Structure 1
C-alpha cells in the first residue's frame, strides 16, 4: 500500500501541543540502581535524551534494607538504614534526575501477610500496624529533607503504591484497604511538609473507571490530601504464551487515548478536582516484559503517535522503562528479550529510544499536528518535525507526506534522521546473526552500528514563498527532520562544483 498525503503548513499558525515526553521515565526496582550496567544505561539515556524525573518500584522492599526491628525491654522497636537509599538517590541526582517517588512495597517485618509479586518478591500486603507504616514514611521523607534540603524535596511528586486494583499488586485488590493506606500515607507525607505533593491511586486499566470514581469520592468525603491523580496505560490485549515470551495484539492508538480521556472526564466531573493534574506514571505498548514488540520499529512508530497526543489530557506520561536491567519476570536470557527498556542490555538503543530523542528536540511551539506528524518552530525560525507510519500488518506500506511550507525567499537545508525497519533495526541484525544469547564483543559492536538513525541532508530553494518538502516513510518508519535557512560561509576559493575538475 502506498499513500500520499498533502498538507499546507503556515509557520505563523499555532496549534495545541503539550510536549511532556521527557518529564519522567520508568525504571525497574530501586535496588537495581546499585548495578554497573544499570548506571551506564541510565547515564547514556540522560546524556543523549535527558529526562527530568524517574519512578520505579521497591523503594521500601527488604533488598533496600531500610526497615529493621529490634527488641528492647520486651517491646519491638523500629530502626532505619538509609545506606542504599542514599546511594541510589545520590546517583539519580548526579544525573539531573528528580525522583517521582512511589511509596511501596511493604517491608517483610511490617507486612500483614506473605503475598509477593515478581521474581524479586515484593510484598504486596497491607501493614500490620498503620502507625508504624506512617512512622516509616515520615522517617524516610525527613531523612531526604535533611540530606537534600526542604526546597528540593517539595519538588518531588509522591505516589502511594502501585496498581492496587490488581490482586497481584495489592492483596485481594481490596479497595477500602487501599483507601485507608492512601489516607494514612498521604497524611504522613503532609506531616513532613504541607508543600509536598502527593497523589494516587496508580491504577491500571482493570475496573479503572469504578476505582477512580470511588477513590475521588473517598478523598472528597473524608478530606484526604490529594494534589494529583495517577494511573497507568498499556495498549495490548490478552497475551498468548510461547516459551519465554508473550505475544499480544495492539489496540488502536485511538482506543488507548480514549481510555485516558475517560479518566480525564471522571476527574473533571468533581468540582473540587476539575482540571487537576493527571500523571500517567507508567505507559507502553505491552504490559509484559516478555513481549518482543518492545524491541521493534512498530513500537517506536506507535509510541511516537502517543507522545504527540498524551499531553492533551495528561500532565506527564512516563515510559516504562529506560533500560533492560529489569527483573519482574526474571533475568533476560538474551539482549532482545521483549523487555520494556529504551535500551537493550549492552547499551543498544532500540528504535523507541529515538522517538524520545526526537520529541526532546521538538520543543512545544507547534505549527502543525495530526495523526501522522508534529511540526514546531523555535525562536530562530527553525522548523522541527517528527512523523511516523504505523503499519501493524506485515508487508510493504509506504506513507509519503508532502508539506507545502510558507517560507521566506532563500536557500534552506532539510535534515532528516530516519528510523525504520531497513535503516535502524538492531533487532533485525540480531535475528540475522542467528540470535546469539550472549553476543561477543564484535557481534555487539555490529548490532550497535545498525541501531543508529540514517542521517541525510539536502538543500532546496524558495523563490515564491512556498517550499515543498517530501518525507517518505516505509512501514513503521519514524523520521525527525529540521528545516533551516542556509547562509553560505565557505572559505575563500572553495567551490564544491569544481571538485571534479574545471572545464577550461
Structure 2
C-alpha cells in the first residue's frame, strides 16, 4: 500500500482530464484537482479520509481538492468515468471557487433529489463525447460545459469555505503525512515501530497515532500489515521461495500471521493463491490482480451496457445531428489541355469471394453477372479450389487418387461466360492427401500440409494440365496462381511452421513451372502484421532469392486493425497446436477488441512492402493485395454504411502507382466462413447483401469505373480525369473513426445506429474550375450519400424489417441508388461548379461532349 501526491496533467486547451477506466485497487493519493467519479457499471469502495463508502452503478461522488482518497473493487467488475478539474480555470470566473468544499454524494440522497445529479451526469457525458469527437473548436464547447457544471454545483449543493489558516493547515498536514509515509515505507521490512516514527517527526507517540488514523483512515498497524501483504504477494508470484521464507522476508512475525491476514484479505491461503496465479500462461496477467496496480483500461471489460447508460444522458438528437457548416474551399483550377497521366484502372483488376463452391449457386452467379455488367472486374480470387466440397480428390479401390474436375469446370466456365479470369489461391488441402485433420472455418477448410509432397504436386500439375486442355495454354498463362492463404498465421491457416511453408511454396512453384515457364505464380498471401512486425516476410524473400525460387508476384492482405490482446491471439494459436478445435477457438475472436490503425495504414503498408522488396530482392515482382477491407471481421456493422464508400475511394486513389491490384474482400455477403449472416444488414464483407441489395461500397466502385483514362488533377479528397474531350470530376467527404472506436470501443455501434463511431465533420464545399473546355456538353451528376445510394439507411427508414419479402426487396432496390441529374449546356472556355458534399458522401460530375 502506498500513498502519494498525484500530479494531474490536462491536455493543452482544456482545463480538465476526463477518462474511463476500471479499478482494482488504487493507492491512497491526493491532488490539487477536484475529482468527480461516476460509476457506469458495477460497484466500487471508496475511502475519503477516514470515511468509507460503497458506490453502485449510477452513483456519483465529488472528491474535493487535496482530500486523501482511494478506490478499490468489490466482487464485481467496474467501469468508472472520472473528471479531474483544474480549479485555476474556475477561479478566473469565480475567485473563491478553489476555496469551496462541496458535499456532493448522490447515494446519500433520495430518488426525488437525483435530478440535480442527473444534470452533472449529463455534463459529464457531453464533455466526454465532445472530447472524443474533437470537432474543430471543441475546446469552446467543453469549456462551456465546465462553466455550466461549476455554476450548477454552486447553486444546487451545500458547500463551505476553507479559510486561509485551514488551507495552510491542510498543506502542513499533507507535508507531515508525506514524511511519515516515506519513513515507514523505507523501514517497514526491518520492523519499524510507531515510537521510531514519532521520534523521526519530533512528536509524541499518541499524537502520531491519532494523526495517522485521522488522515489515512487506518491505523499505523493496519498500514504496516498492508505493506507487508503487498510484499508477500510480490514474492509469492515472482519467486519460488517458501511460505515461511516469504513471511519473514515480508516482516511478519510468523507464517500464522501471514496466513491469517491473507485469508482475511483474499479469502485464500498464500499457497492456493500462488498456485492459481502462477498457473496462468502469461505471468503479466497476475499484475492485474495485485493491489499495487492502478487500473485496467476500460477496454478490458464489457462496456456496452455502461456506455448505453452514459449516452442516455446525451441529447442525442442535438449532439449527432449533421452540421450544415461548410468547410471553405478555394476553387481548384484544372486545365483540360494538360497531357495528364495514364492509369490502368488497377482497382478493376481484382474482386474476391469466399470459397469456390459458393460460386455454383444461382443467386451468387446472378450477383456476379450484374457486377460484371455494371463495373467489370478482370480477375476473381477465392478460397477452397481443392477443398473436399469441390470433390476434386477421390480414392479408388486400389488406393490410388482419381481427380474429378466437374465442379471446377462448372465454376470456371461460368467465369468465362461473365468475362472474368480466376486468380487461384491454391488451397486448402483435400482430406484424402492431408497430413492431419486440423480445419478452419465453418466449412472445415483443412489447413495442414500434405502427408507426401508428391501427392500435392501431382494434384497441382494435373489441375494445370486440365485447365490448359480445356481453356488453352495462352489463356491459362494469363491467370494467377497464389500458393496458400496466410501461412504466417501458424495453427490458424497453416500447420507446419515457416520453414515447411517455404519448402511447400518452392515445390508448388516448380511443379507449375515444369509445365509452362509462362505461368504466373506467387505468394505468400501474408497478413499486414508480418509486414509490420517480425521477419517472416523478409525471410521468405531471402529464401526465394537464395534458392532461385520464382516469385512472379507478392500477395498480401491488409486490414486497418489490430487486436487489443495479442496475447489472446497467441494463446489461441498455442491451444490449437495442443489439439483444441481451431473453429471453436477462433469463434472467440469476435469478442476481442479491435484497435484500428490510422487512416493511412493501407498506403503506409504498401510503402513498407516496396522497401522490403527493394532490400531483399534483385528484381521487382508485381504486388497484389488479395484481401482488403475496413475490417477483418465479417460481422462488423460498419461494412454496410456510407463510410465504406469513402474508405474505398480514398485508399484506392491514394494507392495509385503503388500496387498492381487491390481486391476488396468480398463482392457479396453470400459467404459462409462462420455460417450465413442472419440479419439483412449483418455487417458482412460484401459489396452486395445476400438479397442482392447493393451497398454504398458497391457504388464506390461503380463511380470509380466511370473515371477517364488520364489523370489531369488530383489532391486531397478529389480527382479529375479525362477521355479525349470528356472530363470526370470526383470528390468526397471522408471521415475516419473517432478516438473511442479506434481504441476498441463499439458501444455506440448498434443494428440501426451506425454513424456515431466516426469523426464529426461538417458539410464540405468543393469548387472546381475546368479551363480550356468548349462545346456542347451533357453534364451528368451522381450523388452518393446517406440519402441517395445507401440501402442500409433506406432499410432503417423502412423500419429495419428482417426476412424481407420480394416486394420489400424491390422497393429497396428502387430507393437505394445514387441520385442522377442531367443537364445540357454550351461551354465556352471554362466550366465552374460547386459541390456540397455531406460527410461520408461522394459526388461525380461527368462532362460528355456532344456531337
Q: TM-score, normalised by structure 2?
A: 0.54
1:147 Cα deviation after fit: 0.7
Q: How big is the shift at 1:471?
A: 1.6
**Residues 3 and 398, structure 1, Cα contact 8 Å, conserved in 2:** yes
1:2 aligns with 2:313: no
CA contact (8 A) 2:542 2:617 kept: no
Match of 2:368 among 42, 52, 57: 42
Q: What is the rounded CA distance, in whole Å, between the counterparts of 2:727 and 2:505 in structure 1? A: 46
Alignment correspondent of 1:482: 846
Match of residue 698 from structure 2: 353
1:340 aligns with 2:685: yes
Kept in 2: contact 1:115–1:171 (CA 8 A): no
Task: Report whether the alignment pairs 1:194 with 2:524.
Answer: no
CA distance in 2, matches of 1:92, 1:246: 37
**Which one is further off, 168-177 or 48-57?**
168-177
Equivalences, count: 481
**Corresponding position of 1:171:** 494
Q: Which moved more, 1:405-414 or 1:318-327?
A: 405-414
- Report the Cα distance in structure 2 between the residues aligned to 1:212 and 1:461, rounded to whole angstroms: 56
2:696–2:790 contact (8 Å) kept in structure 1: yes
Q: Deviations over 1:341-368 (max 9, x none)?
A: 1111121110111111112221331101
Over 3 Å counting, the alpha-carbon distance change for 1:152 and 1:288 in structure 2 is same
CA gap of 1:243–1:255, structure 2 versus 1, over 3 A, is: closer
Cα deviation 1:355-396 (Å, max 9, x = unaligned): 1111222133110112311111102x1001322111243656
1:417 and 2:782 matched: yes
Q: Equivalent residue for 1:139?
A: 462
Deviation at 1:262, TM superposition (A): 0.3
Q: Would the alpha carbon gap of residues 54 and 292 (structure 1) be closer, same or farther in structure 2, given more than 3 Å must change?
A: same
Aligned residue for 2:528, secondary structure, equals: coil
Q: Structure 1 residues 363 and 239, CA, compared in 2 at 3 Å: closer, same or farther?
A: farther
> Counterparts of 1:280-291 in structure 2 under 5 Å?
280-291=625-636
Deviations 1:175-199 (A, max 9, x none): 1111011001111111121110100
Aligned residue runs from structure 1 range 105-504, under 5 A: 105-172=428-495, 174-208=497-531, 210-238=535-563, 250-273=596-619, 275-379=620-724, 381-392=725-736, 393=758, 397-459=762-824, 462-463=827-828, 465-485=829-849
C-alpha distance in 2 between matches for 1:249 and 1:12: 46
CA distance in 2, matches of 1:93, 1:311: 28
Deviation at 1:174, TM superposition (A): 1.3
Contact preservation (8 Å) 2:711, 2:721: yes
Take 2:609 and 2:759, find their aligned partners in 1: how far apart are those partners? 33
Q: 2:408 maps to what in 1?
A: 85
Q: How far is 1:249 from its partner?
A: 6.2
What is the rounded CA distance, in whole Å, between the counterparts of 1:327 and 1:412 in structure 2? 47
Partner Cα separation in structure 2 for residue 9 and residue 382 of structure 1: 13
Select which of 46, 59, 65 maps to 2:385.
Answer: 59
The secondary structure found in structure 1 opposite 2:834 is strand
Report how far residue 30 of structure 1 moved. Answer: 0.1
| Corresponding residue of 1:499 | none
CA shift in 2, pair 1:185/1:348, >3 Å:
same
Please give the alpha-carbon distance, in whole angstroms, between the structure 2 residues aligned to 1:71 and 1:52: 42
Instruction: Pick closer, same or farther for the CA change 1:16–1:365 going to 2, 3 Å.
Output: closer
**SS class of match (1:100):** strand
Bigger relative contact order, structure 1 or 2 (CA pairs below 8 A, ≥6 apart): 1
List alignment gaps of at least 5 residues for structure 2.
1-324, 566-586, 737-757
1 CA distance for matches of 2:441 and 2:466?
A: 28
Structure 1 pair 171–270 and aligned structure 2 pair: CA distance change class (3 A): closer
Q: Distance in 1 between matches of 2:357 and 2:774?
A: 57
Q: Determine the C-alpha separation between the residues in 1 that align with 2:610 and 2:589.
A: 39
Query: 1:31 — aligned with what?
Result: 357
Counterpart of 2:237?
none
Q: Which stretch of structure 1 is more off in the superposition, 404-413 or 52-61?
A: 404-413
- Determine if contact 1:250/1:285 at 8 Å carries over to the other structure: no
CA distance in 2, matches of 1:394, 1:448: 29
Q: Distance in 1 between matches of 2:626 and 2:779?
A: 36
Larger radius of gyration between Structure 1 and Structure 2: 2
- Cα distance in 1 for partners of 2:393, 2:708 equals 43
1:300: Cα distance to partner? 0.5
Correspondence for 1:496: none
The residue that corresponds to 1:22 in the other structure is 348
What secondary structure does 1:442 align onto? helix
**Alpha-carbon distance change, 36 to 168 in structure 1, aligned in 2, over 3 angstroms:** farther
Quote how far apart the aligned CAs of 1:316 are.
1.0
Contact 1:246/1:288, CA 8 A, preserved across alignment: no
- Contact 2:720 2:730 (C-alpha < 8 Å) held by counterparts: yes
RMSD of the alignment, in Å? 2.2
Whole-Å separation in 2 of the counterparts to 1:363 and 1:55 = 26
Q: What SS class does the counterpart of residue 346 from structure 2 fall into?
A: coil
- In 2, are the aligned partners of 1:199 and 1:229 still within 8 Å (CA)? yes
Question: SS at 2:847's partner residue?
Answer: strand
Q: Residue 290 of structure 1: SS of its match in structure 2?
A: coil
Q: Which residue number corresponds to residue 495 of structure 1?
A: none
SS in 1 for 2:529: coil
> Matches of 1:454 and 1:224 in 2, distance apart?
52
Residue in 2 that maps onto 1:492: none
Q: Is the 8 A contact 1:246 1:290 kept in 2?
A: no
Would the alpha carbon gap of residues 248 and 452 (structure 1) be closer, same or farther in structure 2, given more than 3 Å must change? Answer: farther
CA contact (8 A) 2:336 2:773 kept: no
CA deviation vs aligned residue, 1:440-476 (integer Å, no higher than 9, x gap): 122212221222000113455544x332121221010
CA drift at 1:228 = 1.1
